[in-house]
Amino acid sequence: RCVTRYYVEFYPRRTLTSFSQDGIFNYDTFLLSEDEGTLYVGARDTILSFQVDSIVWQPVPEKKQECVFKKKSNLTECFNFIRVLVPVNQTHLYTCGTYAFSPTCSYIVRQPLLQDGKGQCPFDPRHKYTAILVDGELYTGTMNNFQGNEPIISRALGSRTLLKTDAFLRWLNGEDGVGGPVYFFFEETAEEFDFFEKLTVSRVARVCTNDVGGEKVLQKKWTTFLKAQLTCFQPGHFPFNVIHHSFVLPQPGGGAVFYGVFTSQWQMGDAGSTAVCTFNLEDIERVFNGKYKELNKESSRWTTYSSGVPDPRPGSCSVGPSADRVLSFMKNHFLMDGKVVPRNKQPLLVKQNVKYTRIAVDQTRSVTGTSYEVMFLGTDQGFLHKAVALASGAHIIEEIQLFKDPEPVQNLLFSPGKGILYVGYSKGVLQVPLANCSVYRSCADCVLARDPYCAWDGRSQSCCLVSLPRLGRWRARPEIVRQPGETHRSLSPPCIFPALSPALNSVIRLPCPQLSALANYTWSYAGHTTPPGLTVLDDKTLVIIMQRQAAGEYTCWASENGHRQAVARYVVQDPTGGDGYPDILNESMVEEGLERGAGPQDRHRSYWAQFVTVTVLLLLTLTTAMAVAGFSYHNRLKAKSKVQGCNTPEATKVSNQEKVPLNGGRSPQLQGPFQEGANKDPRDSGSNPVVGSECARCCCVYRSRLLPPGLLPPAIGGW
C-alpha cells in the first residue's frame, strides 16, 4: 500500500500555468512539436496551437442536423471532438474528429482537405481511441460503426492498401508502437472462459508494419494480427482485470517497458483500488512466440492448439506475403495460449480509494548516476500523483490538487526539454513543472523526499534541480544528512512560536506541522518524554490542561528513514511569574487553538456569558412547561365537575322552571312516533330548557348505570 509523503492542496506552493478560453471545452488530444516550441491541442470544435492560435473546425450545419436526427444531443454530442492529431511533415498535420457522429479527417494546411474518417476516428466522443504514425502511415484502434459495437484496428495514409481487422470485442485504450510491430492495449469480454458472469480481460495485440494483407484469403485484412491476455494481480485479492490507460517507455539499451493502469471488475462502489503494472517487451514477445488457442467447434470451447505450426510462423513479421495455408491458419488461431505476467509477478503500485485515469512515465538520473523511473498519475478527481519506482517498491513523492472542483484528468504529455508536464482537462490545459525542489527547506527534507529531480546543494544551502555540471556540490545520500558539516544546516529550523502564558486550567492545543506522511511524530517535554496526563490527537496535536507543573518547553519531533529532527517548539510560561495557583477550576475555561502551520496566539475566551444565557433559557423553558401542564390539569378538573353537576351544590341553584321535566310536568306517558307532538322539538317552547334538559339527561344516564336491569323509572322510556 502506497502512502503519499507530501500533499499540496490546490497548488498553493506550486507555480502552474493555466490556459483556458471561453466557449472551448474538452482539451483531450495533445501533440508536441519536435522542437517542443509548439503544443497542439485538439478540443471540441477547435484545434489550438500554443502561441496561442486556434484553427476552428466545426461541423457544417447539415452534419449537425443529421446528428440531431439520429437522436443525439445538440448540446453535448453534436460537435467535432478531435481524436487524432499526428504530424505528417514540417508543414502539415493530420487530424480526425467525430464531426457530429460523422467521422472526418483533414490535413491541417491553409485550405483544409476533408477525407472520410471512418475507421480512423470514433463516431461517439465517449468511445476510446488510439493512434500512432509510423513511417507516414497511420495506425488506429477505435470503433468502426455508429452503434459502437465494432472495434477495429486499421492502417491508413501512405501508398499501401488500407488494412483493418475483422470485428471483435470492444476496445478501450491503446498506446504507442515500438520497432517493426505495433502494439495495442485494450480490454474486452473474454470468450475463452465459461463463467456465469461475463469476464472482462485486458489484452495486448500486435500487428506488423510490413503487413500488406492477403491476396485471396484475408483480403484487405490483417494477416499478422495476434492478441494475448495481460494479467495484473496481487496475491490474496481480486485480479485487476480492466485496463484504463497505458504508456510505453523505451529503454536506452533497447527494448521497452509498458506501464498500465488497472482496476478490478469486482470492486464495490465508486471507491476501489487501482494498480500500476509493468510489462517487459521481451515477456510480451515470448507469449506471441508461444502456443496458440483454437476454438473447438463441437464443444464451442477454446483449447490449446497442440498440432504442428506452419512455416513461416503465422503472425510473425516475416518478409513477403504469406501462403494461403498460413493465412487460413491465422483466421482461427489469432489468440495466444500464454498470459503476459507483470514484472516481479506483482503490481508496481497499488493505491486504495483512488481511480487513476492517465499515466505518463519519465526516466531520469540522480546525482549518483542511478536511473529512476518517475510516474505521473492523473486521477478521476483532479489530483496528480508523482511516484518513483524504487527497489523496495513505488514511493509516492507528492500529491497535487490540480483543480478546485473535482473532475478527471483527460491527458498527460511530457515536454522533457523544458521539464514540463502538460495536463488536459475539460476546461483547459495546465503546465506543471516536473519538480518543485524549493519546497524542501532543509537538507533532510530534500533527501528524504527521494525525488530524483532534486538534490541538496551544499554551497547555496538549498534544494535545487539536479544539474550535471554541478555534481560535485550535490548531496543526495540519506547518510550524509546525519554527518556534521555544511549539509547538516537547514534553511528551516524548528518553528519556534512565541511564548504562551495561559491561565490556570485553560486548554492549550499545540499542533505539530506534518510535511511528510511517512514520518513518525512524537512529543518531548523539557528534553524528556511527554509527562503523563496529556492527550495527543490523531493529527498529532498536543492538548494540555494548564497546571503549574505543565509549564516548560514542548518539542514535536519527526522521525523518518533513520533521521530525527524537530519540526516545532513551544514554550509554555506561568503568567504569574511562579507565584502559583490553587489547583481548582476557574469559573471560565480558556482555549487556545492553533491552525495547522500557524503560530499560537495569546488569547483567552470566556464562556461565562454563554453559560448564563443557557441557564436562563433553561429556566424559562421549565417555567413555561409547568404553566402549560397546570393549565391543562385545571381544564380536566373543570370538565369533570360539569359531567357530575347534578350532585353538586350548584345543582340546587337551578330555577324551578329549569327543573321541570321534559314532558311539561305531566305524568310520564309513553308516546309513539305518530302521536301528536311526538316530533315536536323541545326548543320550540318558550322556555329555555338547555340547562335543565342537559342536567336531566346527565342525571338519568348516571342513575341508569346504578339501577339493576328491569328497575328503570318510567321516564326512561320517554327518551
pLDDT in tens, 154-209: 787 766 766 766 654 333 333 333 336 889 898 888 877 767 778 888 999 998 88
Q: Does some domain include residue 156?
A: no
Comparing 256 with 664, which gets the higher pLDDT?
256
Q: What is the mean pLDDT of residues 438-463?
A: 84
Same domain? 454 vs 472 = yes
Checking if the pLDDT of 358 tops 90, the result is yes
Question: What sign has the CA pseudo-torsion 647, 653, 658, 661?
Answer: positive
Dig out the grid coordinates for 531 from the structure: 509527562
Same domain? 219 vs 302 = yes
Query: Which of 584, 581, 605 minimizes the C-alpha distance to 593?
Result: 605
Mean pLDDT lowest among 559-563, 598-602, 708-712: 598-602
What long-range pairs does 342-345 form, CB within 8 A, spacing at least 24?
342/231, 342/232, 342/277, 342/278, 342/279, 343/257, 343/277, 343/278, 343/279, 343/280, 343/283
Checking if the pLDDT of 642 tops 80, the result is no
Same domain? 191 vs 323 = yes
Question: Cβ-count burial of 654 within 10 angstroms (0-12 exposed, 13-18 middle, 19+ buried)?
Answer: middle
Q: Does some domain include residue 99?
A: no
Checking if the pLDDT of 118 tops 90, the result is no
What Cα–Cα distance (Å) separates residue 468 from each residue in 381, 419, 421, 487, 491? 37, 15, 21, 19, 24
Same domain? 528 vs 400 = no
Of 452, 469, 488, the position where a domain reaches its end is 488
Q: Does some domain include residue 255?
A: yes
Same domain? 325 vs 379 = no
Q: Of the spans 285-294, 549-558, 600-609, 682-691, which averages the highest pLDDT?
A: 285-294
Same domain? 220 vs 286 = yes
Q: What is the mean pLDDT of residues 338-354?
A: 91
Of 348, 369, 386, the position where a domain reaches its end is 348
CATH at 484: 3.30.1680.10
Comparing 262 with 179, which gets the higher pLDDT?
262
Same domain? 199 vs 315 = yes
Nearest-angstrom CA–CA distance, 323 and 374 = 46
Cα atoms in the Cβ-side hemisphere of radius 13 Å centred on 560 = 22
Nearest-angstrom CA–CA distance, 297 and 143 = 28
Tally of domains in the chain: 5
Residue 10 gets which letter from DSSP? S
Q: Does some domain include residue 636?
A: no
Q: What is the mean pLDDT of residues 677-681?
A: 44
Comparing 122 with 669, which gets the higher pLDDT?
122
Query: Which of 52, 140, 58, 168 minimizes the C-alpha distance to 102?
Result: 58
The number of helices, as runs of H, and strands, as runs of E, in the chain is: 7, 43
Same domain? 217 vs 324 = yes
Nearest-angstrom CA–CA distance, 692 and 116 = 104
Same domain? 218 vs 309 = yes
Evaluate if pTM is beyond 0.85.
Answer: no
Same domain? 209 vs 311 = yes
Same domain? 192 vs 340 = yes
Q: Does some domain include residue 333?
A: yes
Dig out the grid coordinates for 417 from the structure: 526539454
Per DSSP bridges, beta strands 226-230 and 335-340 are: parallel
Q: Does some domain include residue 701?
A: yes
Q: Does some domain include residue 127?
A: no
Q: What are phi and psi of 430, to 5 degrees?
A: -110, 145
H runs (alpha helix) in 263-360: 281-288, 324-332
Domain of residue 691, residue span: 654-662+686-719
Q: Does some domain include residue 600?
A: yes
Residue 285, pLDDT score:
92
Residue 297, pLDDT score:
78
Same domain? 415 vs 312 = no
Of 348, 382, 416, the position where a domain reaches its end is 348
Residue 55, pLDDT score:
61
Residue 606, pLDDT score:
63
- 325: helix, coil or strand? helix
Helix (H) or strand (E) holding 68: helix 61-69
Q: What are phi and psi of 2, to 5 degrees?
A: -95, 135
